[in-house]
Amino acid sequence: MKKLLLSATLLLATVAASRAQDFKYQTPPKALQDLLLAPPTPRVSLSSDGRVMALLQVQDFPTVAELAAPELRLAGLRFNPRTNGQSRVSYAVGIKLKTLPNGAETEVKGLPAQARISSVSWSPDNKTMAFALTTPGTGTDGRVELWVADVAGATARRLLVTPLNDAFGNAFEWVSDNKTILARVVPAGRGAAPSADAAPTGPAVQESGGGKKTAAPTYQDLLKSPTDERLFDHYATSQLVKVNVADGVAQPLGQPGVIQTASPSPDGRYVLVRTRHRPYSYTLPITRFPQRIDVLDLTSGSVVKTVADLPLADAVPIGADAAPTGPRNHAWRSDVPATIYYVEAQDGGNPKTKADIRDKLFTLEAPFSGAAQELAALPLRFGGLSWGNNQLALVDGYRWADRHQTTWQLNPGKAGAPLAVLFDGSSEDKYKDPGTPYEHRNAQGKLVLLTGGANNQSIYLLGNGASPEGDRPFVDELDLRTKKTIRWWRSEGQVYEVPIAILDASGKKRQLLTRRESLTQSPNYYLRDAAKKDKLTAVTKFPNPYAAFGGSFPKQVLKYKRADGVELTANLYLPPNYKKTDGPLPTLMSAYPLEFKDKSTAGQVSGSPYTFTRLGGGSPVFWVTQGYAVLENVSVPIVGEGSKDPNDTYIEQLVSSAKAAIDEGARLGVVDPERVGVMGHSYGAFMTANLLTHSNLFKAGIARSGAYNRTLTPYGFQGEERNYWQARDVYNAMSPFNYADKIKTPILLIHGEADNNTGTYPIQSERYFAALKGQGATARYVVLPAEAHGYAARENMLHVLWETNAWLEKYVKAPASQPAK
């Protein structure tokens, strides 16, 4: 009888463990809850003349009901059919204006209650701000509207009655006359959306062959049927209009279409329009759809020139150095009235093709009737361009295979003139990074290089200042004739201060806007005179969000080596009032692996020991309040030098990096190596599963929104450019799914129901959990309603903290004995 009762009890326990649970949202311990819900800090937007700052009050966490609003997922886009605007936007809910440095903060009046503000944009003369305002609606009455605010009067008004079509985001742009805005709106008389419930007229059919290789990453939210195509056309089609800012009168320009971008020329005479068109693809997102590039006359709306009509980009090789054939990257030269530039691959877009010239840069000047002019031939793939004037432009090139990057100085007034190398080196070598050339907005509202110094021959470089002691941001002046730099300013002392804008580049004043913080002081903005070391004026006084919790979470940057000699770092956080005599603590580690081609650069220090710790929802630092030591941002470099690929020894380097961090914490006497948990998000979740599979370093793991079976991402992932058939053993060895029978450590899997990230389909966690369950592993699988790759809803965020805390308490803080591996 006792045997029967025991068997029945075990059977019930097995059934309970296997079935889906009708689970309600839970909340974590109060300390975790209060920290997550600490008041958000305002965002800032600075006028181009540096005189006025807009303080944008940030929306608190949306509710899961708001997140679960209707959403269409088509062609790689996600938008709300009620509003015809992007879904999952982080809105501002109010605007204050402040004259720098000491003006009062003035609330912008005229906004509706519960305003949802996005896409804030200053007019070129900084007298007016434009922004999108979303009314969510409850049926079909939602909309995204174009609003403007008068800066001097701090008053806002709706500018346009017709709703914006904001499916692509950034649905409007200022014209340089300060009187006109170009906007994409819902076409008049559009009618009702096609029914998604109509009976199919036939199957969805795709075909390949003829020797054409059309490999693609595992994109999400793609079109799947003719019904999807019709829905996409309905919601993505817009009408371009020019709007008079004074009275809101709108004049249509051109014909309705799937207009992705529309940008006015610097002189305000033309519009460069990018329109996507059929045939669409069921395996690629809109960024690969056929496109037509037209120049429209801004007065009449007529087509002046069709610059290009490009086919579906379905044969682009896999890899970071690959590019489509044909002209690409069409945009305006920002420093002249009306000249288009574009680039075109000379190697068929295939980086494996031997070629002395990878890309060529072309320009086409108004009235666009002549042939395009070749401006430069680049030995590397085009990586970006900064215009200065007719004698100065900077062009970037890169080669991912060996992380090589070059910046050339170019004279736009002399087509075909030899390129002059300005910077050359490795993108991985942070210590030698010269900084980023600083751009400001000119009178036409376009970004151009800021020049100064003798005869305007100097440019300015803003950099992170990476060094063995951590980041020390700087501002340099570079004389382009002598190639010598003068250091204006560098962040010093036990603070982290980063330059945001150069407000005055004159030799006497050298005024900067910076953001300054420390371990105990939350970030705020300051005016700094770089010529006078101690002259610093506070612009904002944002309160410390953690004042009620002691104000800060002090950290210590650890420096140590792994077994192969690669130098590593990690941030160590300890509970408040912890003393060495308290002994080693249960520990939580978090990390995110990165690929490198050189051991010396892999070991370079990243970040600063003096930054203020702001806790995002995915931070492990919450758990110092629960008595844990936390090893955060642990270095996990995966190195493949020379002809070797990093992932060939991924598992060995992964485990070695984790062991080195635990050993260092144990050496310091703060980490109990018998009680360590590991957590990670996305590629960090993949790391977590592999660490639990291939080591016995941890007592539990938390893996959020990861990918665990690399055969489901056969055409590359993360930094891996080889496909599955080229590196079958690597893909298989790196897939924890393949070793579900080996894992003995408890693992908590969390995934957003609506994950939109390439490669991390929810099915990755679903199938991995099924494999673990089938092998009798201790696992829990939590699906968060309505969440994408990053989590946003209040209820879900709190629940994730509860799940994580419960898992750590059960398996890390007081772990039961586990079977030896």
Q: What is the pLDDT of residues 491-511, one digit of tens each?
A: 999 999 999 999 999 867 789
pLDDT per residue over 3-40, tens digit each? 333 333 333 343 344 556 678 999 999 999 999 999 99
- pTM reported for the whole predicted model: 0.94
Return the percentage of the chain with pLDDT > 90, whole number: 89
What is the average pLDDT score of the chain? Answer: 94
End-to-end CA distance of the chain: 36
Active site residue 330: no
Q: Starting at the edge strand that comes first in sequence, how are the strands of the sheet with 536-538 ordered?
A: 496-504, 511-517, 524-529, 536-538
- Tell me the residue type at 390: N
SS (H, E, C) 270-329: EEEEEEECCCCCCCCCHHHCCEEEEEEECCCCCEEEEEEEECCCCCCCCCCCCCCCCEEE
pLDDT above 70 (res 157)? yes
How do strand 339-345 and strand 327-332 relate by DSSP bridges? antiparallel
Which residues in 303-403 belong to E strands, given as ranges? 303-310, 327-332, 339-345, 359-365, 373-378, 381-389, 392-399
Report CA dihedral (758, 762, 283, 232) to the nearest 10 degrees. -100
| Residue-level pLDDT at 8 | 35
| Residue 792 half-sphere exposure toward CB, CA atoms < 13 A | 22
Query: What's the rounded mean pLDDT across residues 514-538?
Result: 92
| Residue-level pLDDT at 19 | 57
Task: Give the tokens for residue 498.
Answer: 């980063």
pLDDT per residue over 367-413, tens digit each? 999 999 999 999 999 999 999 999 999 999 999 999 999 999 999 99
**CA dist., res. 80 & res. 399, Å (int):** 39
| Residue-level pLDDT at 199 | 77
Nearby residues of 497 by Cβ (< 8 Å), 6 or more positions away: 473, 491, 514, 515, 516, 517, 526, 528
**CA dist., res. 773 & res. 645, Å (int):** 34
Query: What's the rounded mean pLDDT across residues 321-327?
Result: 96
pLDDT above 90 (res 737)? yes
Q: Which of 118, 238, 386, 682 is catalytic?
A: 682
Active site residue 177: no
Active site residue 225: no
- Of 60, 58, 82, nearest to 69 by C-alpha is 82
DSSP β-bridge partners for residue 384:
396
| Residue-level pLDDT at 820 | 45
**CA dist., res. 195 & res. 192, Å (int):** 9
Query: What's the rounded mean pLDDT across residues 58-83?
Result: 94
CB atoms within 10 A of CB 759: 23
Q: What angle do CA 78, 81, 84 make, to 5 degrees?
A: 80
Q: Rounded to 5 degrees, what are φ and ψ at 770?
A: -60, -40
Query: What's the rounded mean pLDDT across residues 473-487?
Result: 96
Query: What's the rounded mean pLDDT across residues 623-647?
Result: 97
CB 770 within 8 A of CB 804: no
Query: For 736, which DSSP code?
Result: G
Query: What's the rounded mean pLDDT across residues 116-132?
Result: 98
Nearby residues of 468 by Cβ (< 8 Å), 6 or more positions away: 431, 604, 605
CB atoms within 10 A of CB 427: 16
pLDDT above 80 (res 524)? yes
**CA dist., res. 107 & res. 103, Å (int):** 12
pLDDT above 70 (res 818)? no
| Residue-level pLDDT at 405 | 98
Q: Which of 735, 755, 765, 799 is catalytic?
A: 755
Query: For 559, which DSSP code?
Result: E
pLDDT above 80 (res 534)? no
Nearby residues of 339 by Cβ (< 8 Å), 6 or more positions away: 332, 333, 363, 364, 365, 366
pLDDT above 90 (res 485)? yes
